[in-house]
Amino acid sequence: MMSERVKIIIEGKTFEFPVIVGSEGEKAIDIAQLRKTTGYITHDPGFGNTGCCRSAITFMDGEKGVLRYRGIPVEQLAEHSTFVETAYLLINGHLPNREQLTQMRVLLNDSSMVHEDMKFFYQNFPRNAHPMGILSAMVNALKSFYPIYDIEEEQTYTTLNLISKIRTMSAMSYRMSRGHLVIYPRPDYSYCANFLNMMFDNPVNPYKMDEDLVKALNVFWILHADHEQNCSTTAVRVVGSGKVNLYAAISAGIAALWGPLHGGANQAVIEMLTNIQKNGQSIRQVIEMAKDKKKNFRLMGFGHRVYKTYDPRAKIMKKMCDMVLGKLKKKDPLLDLAKELEEAALTDTYFIDKHLYPNVDFYSGIVLRAMGIPLNMFTVMFAIGRLPGWIAQWQEGMEDPEGKIARPRQIYTGAGLTNYIPLGER
Ligand code: SDX
């Protein structure tokens, strides 16, 4: 929607630019003609003030702690929906009716197996290879095993092929890293139950499915399903803007998510809590360390580029910790430590002044630990959850009438014209 215009005065000359107003009232200055009309570009490291697209998929209000997928609050989806239904919502723009949901479940089941030749890739990774590196490589390899050359067909078949297989491939990397038998997907299990079974089933001691854990896994993946233009999602859109296949674009998203400042934070939180416990550090010591720039230490799982209040996903995740641990009759000292850290941080002026609150990663690792997911698989769990969001965003980018190949500008700060000096004269 276009409405008023803004005026910018540059070197005494006035330039006007249109204002774009989003459906929730967010406003942007449309600077598409800025360089052509003024010769200037903008400078915005980390793009914190820059919109790269118009999107109808996810709405976040960082000040109010609001998160909605296609307009539906994430709290309602976590309570009433399933991950497969939420994936359908994100990708298709509306909740499925019974027939559409059944058809999606059937197609996900049909494409849940992985080409047997892919096992040779897994067998040749070093045993201690990080599952995120394996996943990024194997998703990219899917194009070679499932070549589709029709973009229409790619958007339907590849989408479901990816959503179904990412589960199988993730469980495979875990099983093969331990030298265990690969467990195949079962047609009689739901999406989440199948993943837990492929991870933990054992012919000698069959995995006992626990419906509360299946529900917890649905909620975990619903909470991770999309988050508008974060680091990895924008990576998927940028790579997709070159019109490469979807597998390659998603592989780039997995690589971006791996970083400890992004999706790798859930693993980093548990490592941080474990170190605090092992080193016998007090809560006060940790809080002071996080405030001291010289210590190069951050309270992992705290802070967010957009949320300047409690991340709505962290609230649900925190409740899930108590539910899952209670159901399993387990206690986790790291949960008690996390709650004490949160309480101390939220009453400390440094954190209050900088609007630093728990984000989705602060409690998510506790839930994964309770489910028995190994630490090095935590970010893989995030990637499986985020996949429908990446796909929806990639698709929207491909269909964007304003869409073109991503090619930002820069401000050059290097040497002026310099002549080549032959080797003998240097
Ligand atoms: C995810 O973007 C998304 O939507 C991401 C995500 C998604 O769903 O896709 O929500 C998932 O990535 C969540 C974030 C997970 N990362 C972490 O938990 C790592 C720890 N957090 C930070 O490194 C940091 O808060 C970020 C990376 C999350 C946000 O960084 P910003 O917005 O660039 O903020 P910043 O680094 O400029 O920090 C602002 C100030 C700085 O102090 P000053 O220089 O102003 O004095 O806050 C301080 C920072 O030093 N600060 C922290 C802190 N986070 C920010 N100080 C201590 N501990 C922290 N965790």
Please give the angle made by the CA atoms of 86, 308 and 256, to the nearest 5 degrees. Answer: 55
Give the active site residue among 130, 304, 311, 332: 304
Check which CATH number belongs to the domain holding 177 and give it: 1.10.580.10
- The CATH number that applies at residue 279 is 1.10.230.10
Active-site annotation holds for 180: no
pLDDT at 148: 76
Q: Which two tokens stand for residue 405?
A: 């190949």
Query: Are residues 192 and 251 located together in one domain of the fold?
Result: yes
Extended strands (E) in 229-378 = none
With respect to residue 87, please indicate whether it lies within any of the assigned structural domains: yes
132 and 223 belong to one structural domain: yes
Residues 204 and 292 in one domain: no
Q: How far apart are CA 216 and CA 210, in angstroms?
A: 10
Look at residues 99, 104, 105, 94 and name the one whose alpha carbon lies nearest to residue 72: 94
Is the backbone of residue 228 left (phi > 0), alpha (psi -120 to 50) or beta? left
CA 166, CA 135: separation in Å to the nearest integer? 8
> In which residue are the tokens 């839930």 written?
367
pLDDT tens-place string over residues 362-386: 999 999 999 999 999 999 999 999 9
User: What is the average pLDDT across 139-155?
Assistant: 82
Portion of the chain with pLDDT greater than 70, in percent: 98
**Which pLDDT value is given to residue 155?**
72
Q: What is the CA(282)–ligand 1 centre distance, in A?
A: 23
Domain boundary among 61, 85, 103: 61
* Residue 249: closest CA among 125, 397, 122: 397
**Domain stop point among 61, 81, 106:** 61
pLDDT of 234 strictly over 60: yes
**57-89 pLDDT, tens digit each:** 999 999 999 999 999 999 999 999 999 999 999
pLDDT score recorded for residue 3: 58
- Using the CB atoms, write b or e for 325-343: b if 16+ within 10 Å: beeeeeebebbebbbebbe
Confidence class of residue 333 from pLDDT cuts 50, 70 and 90? very high
Domain co-membership, 39 together with 92: no
Ligand 1 center–CA 292 separation, angstroms: 15
* 59 in Cβ contact with 25 (< 8 Å): no
Considering the domain architecture, whether residues 235 and 351 belong to the same structural domain is answered as no
284 and 315 share one domain: yes
Number of domains in the chain: 3
* Joined tokens for residue 297: 């230490």
Radius of gyration of the chain (CA): 23
Quick check: is 415 in a domain? no
Q: d(Cα 388, Cα 217) in Å, to the nearest integer?
A: 15
Residue 413 in any domain: the answer is no
- Is 19 inside any structural domain? yes
Phi, psi (deg, nearest 5) at residue 346: -70, -5
Domain assignment present for 340: yes
Distance of CA 295 to the CA centre of its chain: 28
Q: Is 265 in the pocket of ligand 1 (CB under 6 A)?
A: yes
> How far is CA 317 from each of CA 49, 124, 263, 284, 354, rounded to the nearest angstrom?
29, 36, 15, 24, 23
Residue 189 lies in a domain: yes
Taking CA atoms only, the protein residue closest to ligand 1 atom 50 is 293
Q: What is the mean pLDDT of residues 34-50?
A: 97
- Per-residue confidence (pLDDT) for residue 413, from 0 to 100: 97
Instruction: From 61, 83, 109, give the residue that closes a domain.
Output: 61
**The ligand 1 atom nearest the CA atom of 224:** 8
Q: For helices 378-399 and 360-371, what crossing angle results, to 10°?
A: 130
Residue 26 burial (10 A CB sphere; 0-12, 13-18, 19+): exposed
Split at pLDDT 50, 70, 90, the class of 151 is low
> Is the model's pLDDT at 281 over the cut of 60?
yes
Check whether residue 104 and residue 186 sit in a common domain. yes
pLDDT at residue 239 is higher than 60: yes
Q: Give a yes or no: residue 13 inside a domain.
A: yes
Q: Give residue 232's pLDDT.
A: 98
Q: Is 67 in the pocket of ligand 1 (CB under 6 A)?
A: no
Domain that holds residue 24: 5-61
Query: 127: how many CB neighbours lie within 10 A of its CB?
Result: 8
Residue 322 has pLDDT above 60, yes or no: yes
**421 in a structural domain:** no
Q: Is the pLDDT of residue 287 over 90?
A: yes
- In 3D space, the residue among 381, 314, 388, 397 whose CA is nearest the CA of residue 70 turns out to be 388
Q: 279 with 393, same domain?
A: no
Q: Ligand 1 atom 26: the closest Cα is on which residue? A: 304
Whether residues 30 and 111 share a domain: the answer is: no
236 plus 349 within the same structural domain? no
**Mean pLDDT across the stretch 219-236?**
98
* Residues 288 and 355 placed together within one structural domain of the fold: yes
What is the pLDDT, as a whole number, of residue 156?
78
Residue among 222, 227, 228, 265 nearest 81 (CA): 222
- Catalytic (active site) residue 361: yes
Are 243 and 276 members of one domain? no
